[in-house]
């Protein structure tokens, strides 16, 4: 308890955290502060404090999943928000391992885990995306967009924000009827079907998820466009051909740093001479970092969130021009809060699909991600690349005009 006490007294200054140990002894950290949560938690056994203190993020997550860390006032979103809000990235807050040796060990371990060969990439994707499709139906929008939405108004519904996200991305692709478009990491097919519908383009979507592939193909067939919107189970490194446009949404996070240059080299090879690419990815504000242990173990094995410098540097060798860069600072926070609310509302159905431990793991993941975008160093980047400097208009006016047209139907 002494180690955990020291950590919490140093960290929790605004808002309150009441901690009760397995003997019933209670201590309170922080002070009541407007806008900060008031949380009460209980430790179920004598070893939980040490378990959490030795590796806070992974230990807290596993203790919560196993029912050893019990939240008695508030919920897991409140708990994680309280911790994160007391150490905001914008103000120099840091919850990462201290000391150069610990940081170096974490960075080296992370890089080793990011060597994603084709076979390893398939296993990593299956770990997360080949879960029961009914799980995703319970908390995503009707189009099953499992990536950051675009909130033109924070009060918008998730469905509206995801539709606006697709319009925002389509506008940056500068599409023309009849073009060939490649969607790398196509998910359940929503983006590919949207681009075909609004811009009259032919799309090939590629994925490594068997479950996503089945759904995407069924959707294309149901829409009567299977001849123009095709889906294949293939690694981007094995694909050949040429495309006028490439779009990749929420896939680059799974590439891994050792493969960044390989990714861009293949993309350049697949792009036509006047080709344009739009990369939408979760990003890391500031300098490069490392993936936390909970996410690596339970959510996205082999994944890594890139800093903007890493994205641009990796694309430079392929001589892809970063024609436009946009930082979405808060849009994923709004998205995740809606996913979290929907997940909590469907607790019974999710526990029926899996069990209570899985439900707690999933809410810990969503709550942790939300806090990272609200208070931590996470954001989203949309980077538009072109193969040559003449491929796009010389001003950004075309984006706004196209987006307005797509959004108006």
Provide the pairing of β-strand 38-43 with 202-207.
unpaired
Q: Which two tokens stand for residue 236?
A: 């981007």
The kind and range of the H/E element at 321 are strand 321-328
Instruction: Compute the distance between CA of residue 281 and CA of residue 274 in angstroms, rounded to an integer.
Output: 23
Q: At what angle do helices 210-222 and 118-129 cross, to 10 degrees?
A: 70
| Mean pLDDT across the chain | 92
Q: Cα angle vertex 245, ends 243, 248, to 5°?
A: 110
Residue carrying structure tokens 């999933």: 362
pLDDT in tens, 277-323: 999 999 999 999 999 999 999 998 889 999 999 999 999 999 999 99
Which residues of 9-146 form beta strands (DSSP E)?
A: 15-20, 26-31, 38-43, 69-73
Residue carrying structure tokens 């996913």: 339
Question: Which has more pLDDT, 202 or 125?
Answer: 202
Could you tell me if 383 and 325 are in contact, meaning their C-beta atoms sit under 8 angstroms apart? yes
Q: Which two tokens stand for residue 394?
A: 């010389």
Q: What are the backbone dihedrals phi and psi of residue 199, each rounded to the nearest 5 degrees, phi first? A: -125, 0
pLDDT in tens, 131-184: 788 999 999 999 999 999 999 999 999 999 999 999 999 999 999 999 999 999
Instruction: Compute the distance between CA of residue 280 and CA of residue 298 in angstroms, rounded to an integer.
Output: 23
The confidence score (pLDDT) of residue 102 equals: 47
Instruction: Give the pTM.
Output: 0.91
Could you tell me if 97 and 104 are in contact, meaning their C-beta atoms sit under 8 angstroms apart? no
Residue 237 DSSP class: G
The confidence score (pLDDT) of residue 126 equals: 53
Nearest to 332 by CA among 81, 167, 135, 147: 147
């Amino acid at each position: 308890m002494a180690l955990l006490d020291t950590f919490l007294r140093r960290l929790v200054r605004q808002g309150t955290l009441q901690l009760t140990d397995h003997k019933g002894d209670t201590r309170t950290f922080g002070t009541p502060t407007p806008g900060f949560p008031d949380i009460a938690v209980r430790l179920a056994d004598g070893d939980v404090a040490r378990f959490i203190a030795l590796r806070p993020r992974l230990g807290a997550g596993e203790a919560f999943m196993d029912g050893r860390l019990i939240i008695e006032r508030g919920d897991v979103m409140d708990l994680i928000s309280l911790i994160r809000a007391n150490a905001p990235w914008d103000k120099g807050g840091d919850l990462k391992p201290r000391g150069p040796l610990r940081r170096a060990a974490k960075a080296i371990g992370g890089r080793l885990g990011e060597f994603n060969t084709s076979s390893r990439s398939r296993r990593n994707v299956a770990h997360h995306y080949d879960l029961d499709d009914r799980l995703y139906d319970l908390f995503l929008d009707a189009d099953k967009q499992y990536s950051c939405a675009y909130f033109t108004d924070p009060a918008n519904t998730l469905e509206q924000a995801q539709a606006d996200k697709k319009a925002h991305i389509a506008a940056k692709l500068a599409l023309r009827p009849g073009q060939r478009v490649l969607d790398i990491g196509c998910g359940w097919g929503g983006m590919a079907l949207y681009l075909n519908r609004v811009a009259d383009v032919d799309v090939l979507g590629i994925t490594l998820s068997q479950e996503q592939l089945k759904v995407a193909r069924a959707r294309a067939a149901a829409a009567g466009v299977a001849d123009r919107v095709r889906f294949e189970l293939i690694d981007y490194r094995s694909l050949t051909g040429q495309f006028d446009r490439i779009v990749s949404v929420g896939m680059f996070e799974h590439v891994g740093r050792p493969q960044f240059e390989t990714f861009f080299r293949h993309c350049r090879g697949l792009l036509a001479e006047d080709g344009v690419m739009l990369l939408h990815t979760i990003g890391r504000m500031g300098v490069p970092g490392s993936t936390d242990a909970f996410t690596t173990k339970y959510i996205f094995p082999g994944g890594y969130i890139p800093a903007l410098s890493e994205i641009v540097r990796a694309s430079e060798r392929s001589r892809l021009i970063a024609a436009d860069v946009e930082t979405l600072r808060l849009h994923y926070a709004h998205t995740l809060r809606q996913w979290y609310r929907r997940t909590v509302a469907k607790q019974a159905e999710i526990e029926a699909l899996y069990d209570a431990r899985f439900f707690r793991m999933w809410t810990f993941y969503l709550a942790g991600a939300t806090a990272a975008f609200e208070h931590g160093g996470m954001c989203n980047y949309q980077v538009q690349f072109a193969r040559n400097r003449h491929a796009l208009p010389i001003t950004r006016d075309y984006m706004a005009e196209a987006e307005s047209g797509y959004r108006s139907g």
